[in-house]
Amino acid sequence: MTVITCIEDLRRLAQRRVPRMFYDYADSGSWTESTYRANEDDFRRQKLRQRVAVNMDGRSTATTMIGQPVAMPVAIAPTGLTGMQHADGEILAARAAEKFGVPFTLSTMSICSIEDVAAATTKPFWFQLYVMRDRAFVERLIDRAKAAGCSALVLTLDLQILGQRHKDLKNGLSAPPKLTLPNLLDMMTKPRWCLGMLGTSRRGFGNIIGHVDGVDDMSSLGQWTAQQFDPRLSWADVEWIKKRWGGPLILKGVMEPEDARLAAGSGADALVVSNHGGRQLDGAPSAIEALPAIAEAVGRDIEVWMDGGIRSGQDVLKARALGARGTMIGRAFLYGLGAMGEAGVTKALEILHKELDLTMAFCGHTAIDTVDARILAHPVR
C-alpha cells in the first residue's frame, strides 16, 4: 500500500490506473515537449530564503481571487476530457474543490455537462469557454453557464488551432478514441477504471453532444470539433463575450506583456499567464519565466494569475512571489483524480496546501497576502 505524500505519488498511481491513451493525453506536451518540461524545471531554479526566529503562529493561506474568497490562491484549471481520467471526473473534482474552498473550472471540452456539474454541487463553479465558428452555439453555452449559476467565465485565448501532440496521434486519441488491440489490452489491465466507466452514462462531451444539430454521438462530435475552433478569434470577440456574459471574466493563455496590456484594456477581471501546460506552442518560455514581465507591464490594472508546472505548494508560493495573485492547477489535480477519484483530488489539494503553509512559514510569513519577491534568494529571470 503506497503512502501518498506528494503529487508525484499521485502521478505514479494515476499512471498505473488510467488507460495509457487517456493518461498520456493529460500528461504530455506538444512537439518536443520542451515547454512542457520547462514549466516544471523553471520552478526548481527559483531558490527560497529561510528566515528564523520569526513568530510563525496563526498562519493563513486564505486570500481572494477576483474578489472571491479562496482557502489558498489555487483554482482548478479547465482541463479537457477530465471525465476520461476517472468516471464522472468533473463532478468528483468539482465536489472536492467545493469542500476544500477553491474554485473549480469546467472545460467546454468536458465529459460531464454544465448541468451535470451544477446538479451535483451546491456552490457556483467557473466555466471555461472556447470560441467556436458556430457563434450561436457559443451564445447558448454562455447562457447555459449563466443559467447554471457559474460565477466566472474563463475565456481561453491560446487554442484556436491545436498544437501537435505526438503521443495522442500515436495512441489514437481522437473522438471517438481508436479502440485498437493494444488500447483494448491496456484497458483490460485497468479494471477499476473500466468498472467506473461501465457504471456511468457520462462518456461523451456533454456540453456539445445533443446541443448542436447533427451532433449526437462521438463520431459526429469528432467531425464537428475538427472544424469548429475558430482561428479568427480577435479582441473584438473578447468584447462581445464580455458583454454577452456580463459577469467576471478571466482571460487565459497570455504570454506576452503586449497582449497582457490588451487584456487589461479589455476590462477583464484577471488574466492567466499560461502556455496551455506546454500543449500548444512548443519552444515558448515557461509560464513562470513569462510571469514577472507581465505582472510588471499591467501593474494593478488587472489581476495576474499563472498556470503551468505547479506540482507543489512551494511552486504556488514562488508564483505568488513573482507577481501572481492566483494560480491554476491542471495536472496536479488530474493525477489525484486518476489515482483515487474525489479522494485523490482532495489529497492533491491537501498536499499543496500543506506545502504552501509550511514553506510560507519557513520564509517568515504568516499570511499569504504579505508574500512578495523578497522570499526568493536570487529571482531567476
Q: Give the catalytic positions in this structure.
A: 276
Minimum gap (Å) between residue 279 Cβ and ligand HOC:
4
Minimum gap (Å) between residue 371 Cβ and ligand HOC:
30
Is 309 annotated in a binding site? The answer is yes
Q: How far is CA 164 from the centre of its chain?
A: 19
Amino acid at 308: G
Minimum gap (Å) between residue 159 Cβ and ligand HOC:
6
Residue facing ligand HOC at closest CB distance: 80
Which spans of this chain sit near ligand HOC (rule: CB under 6 A)? 80, 109, 159, 175, 225, 276, 279
Is 312 annotated in a binding site? The answer is no
DSSP state of 227: H
Is 107 annotated in a binding site? The answer is yes
Q: How far is CA 126 from the centre of its chain?
A: 11
End-to-end CA, the chain: 41
| 3 state SS of 69 | strand
* 14 within 8 A of 359, measured Cβ to Cβ: no
| 3 state SS of 317 | helix
Residue 26 or 322 having the CB closest to ligand HOC:
26
CA distance 377 to 381: 12
Minimum gap (Å) between residue 80 Cβ and ligand HOC:
3
Exposure letters 273-305 (e unless 16+ CB within 10 A, then b): bbbbbbbbebebbbbbbbbbbbbebbeeebbbb
Residue 110 or 346 having the CB closest to ligand HOC:
110
Residue 156 or 327 having the CB closest to ligand HOC:
156
Listed in sequence order, the residues at least 6 apart from 272 whose beta carbon sits closer than 8 Å to its beta carbon are 154, 250, 251, 252, 253, 254, 305, 306, 307, 328
Residue 61 or 113 having the CB closest to ligand HOC:
113
Is 307 annotated in a binding site? The answer is yes
Is 156 annotated in a binding site? The answer is yes
Minimum gap (Å) between residue 350 Cβ and ligand HOC:
26
Is 261 annotated in a binding site? The answer is no
Q: How far is CA 37 from CA 30, 41, 124, 231, in A?
A: 11, 6, 33, 27
Closest by alpha carbon to 379, among 35, 34, 43? 43
Residue 276 or 347 having the CB closest to ligand HOC:
276
Binding site for FMN, by residue number, is 78-80, 107, 128, 130, 156, 252, 274, 307-311, 330-331
Binding site for glyoxylate, by residue number, is 25, 165, 276, 279
